[in-house]
Amino acid sequence: MTIDPGTLAAYEAGAATYAARSHPPDEDGPRALVAAATGPVLDLGCGTGRYLERLGPTVVGVEPSAAMLGEARHAVPGAMVVRAAAGALPLRPRSVGGTWANKVLQHVDRGDLPVVLADLHRSMAVGAPLSARLFCGDGDQRSDDDLPGRRFVLWHPDDLADLVLGAGFADVETDPSTWPLPADHPAVISTGADGRTFAFLTVRAARARSLPDTVAPGMRLLVCGLNPSLHAADAGVGFAGPGNRFWPAMTDAGLLPDGVDRDPWALLREGRIGMTDLVKRATPRADEVTTAEFRAGVERVGRLCARLAPAAVVVVGLTGWRAGLDPKATAGWQPAPLGPTPVYVMPSTSGLNAGTSRADLVRHLRAAADGH
């Protein structure tokens, strides 16, 4: 993930100014997070260290600005703080028992936020809570206060909730939950001369036993599974179950870049092929997913396609598509798109699907990648 140069420069130049601000910190949020944490807490974007002492004795602060980190070390001597950026955390998998992200995610590019959330998912233990505070509104803004030049990416609550759910988190709640807000809503910070409202937005969730989406703008193909198996969720790789033929079929279809095998992020980065699931909940078997879950999943993936506009979607698993949208669907291109994106549906790559050969799977994958 790259940090907006103007934002980073503003914090490097204005760290002392930021540290001198007298805004009272939130007391209830950190207290609730620490109470629910399953282990050491991560203070993501710890800034000048305002919350370090409120997040427990084993807190780890991460901050990309050297000047802000220096202020944190001065304010909380002996605190464990590390210079690093969100999306490239130097932390062991599942080592974090809770994440506090106060007014940091608004500085992340829209296209990079799935990467940042997926890296948090990798770093956090199953069940660990996430509490993030950022801003909601329309579009982006640049600050013109005592730290000018910072970019703020504003989110609608439902869009942010979709991304957090897609990143493998459960029990996702946002406050506020709807947008736009009336001018007298307690979350509203200001309303500009143009009528645009700027408000606080809090999201809370828990790290699920699931897989994060690997998605970004500019995908030539989005692979959509039905839901992760427990094996895949624990391995961190979709279609990783014993006997699953997805990755071998991708190789045979010529869709894996050289040197890429069972690496979703490399597949996205080098092949522009993303991965998601209709249902994020991991189960031992796909037939444990309800029709209502499949229908909600089709709607979520449709919103994802509307946001990122991949060239095509291939749904791997005809049964889930039939349950979620069209009981009479057959394999191949579907009559209706998801958002603006054409949809190809193919049989499951599971080894239990003995009726479909590996050669047939290769043919379907090639057809989806080649487009209409």
Per-10-residue mean pLDDT of the chain, 372 residues long, equals 84 95 88 97 96 95 97 95 94 97 94 94 98 92 90 94 97 92 82 72 97 96 96 95 94 92 93 97 90 93 94 95 91 94 96 93 97 74
Domain of 152: which CATH number?
Answer: 3.40.50.150
The last residue of a domain, from among 207, 241, 259:
207
Token representation of residue 212: 């994060």
Model pLDDT, residue 194:
64
Q: 260 in a domain, yes or no?
A: yes
Identify the CA nearest to 296 among candidates 155, 172, 203, 133.
172
* Residue 209 · residue 234 · CB < 8 Å: yes
Q: Note the pTM of the prediction, 2 decimals.
A: 0.93
Query: 136 and 270, same structural domain?
Result: no
Query: 151 and 85, same structural domain?
Result: yes
Query: 331 and 253, same structural domain?
Result: yes
Token representation of residue 100: 């506090």
Token representation of residue 156: 């609608």
Contacts of 35 (CB under 8 A, 6+ apart): none
Determine the structural domain holding residue 52 and report its residue range: 5-207
Buried residues in 15-24 as b, exposed as e (16+ CB within 10 A): beebbeeeee
User: Pairing state of beta strands 313-316 and 343-346?
Assistant: parallel
Query: 248 and 324, same structural domain?
Result: yes
* Residue 364 · residue 254 · CB < 8 Å: no
The last residue of a domain, from among 207, 233, 253:
207
Q: 147 in a domain, yes or no?
A: yes
Q: 48 in a domain, yes or no?
A: yes
Q: What is the distance between the terminal CA atoms of the chain, rounded to a whole angstrom?
A: 33
Query: 194 and 225, same structural domain?
Result: no
DSSP 3-state assignment of 22? coil
CA dihedral defined by 270, 273, 278, 283, rounded to 10 degrees? -50
Query: 93 and 200, same structural domain?
Result: yes
Domain of 335: which CATH number?
Answer: 3.40.470.10
Query: 169 and 25, same structural domain?
Result: yes
Query: 260 and 172, same structural domain?
Result: no
Q: 131 in a domain, yes or no?
A: yes
Query: 236 and 189, same structural domain?
Result: no
For 71, how many CA atoms within 13 A lie in the half-sphere containing its CB? 23
Token representation of residue 113: 């936020």
Q: 214 in a domain, yes or no?
A: no
CA distance readout (Å), 228 to 147, 224, 243: 44, 10, 15
Model pLDDT, residue 2:
64
Please give the tally of structural domains in the chain: 2
* Residue 39 · residue 96 · CB < 8 Å: yes
Q: 140 in a domain, yes or no?
A: yes
Q: Which residue has the tokens 């069209």?
A: 326
The last residue of a domain, from among 147, 173, 207:
207
Model pLDDT, residue 179:
87
Taking the C-alpha atoms of residue 167 and residue 121, their distance in angstroms, rounded to an integer, is: 7
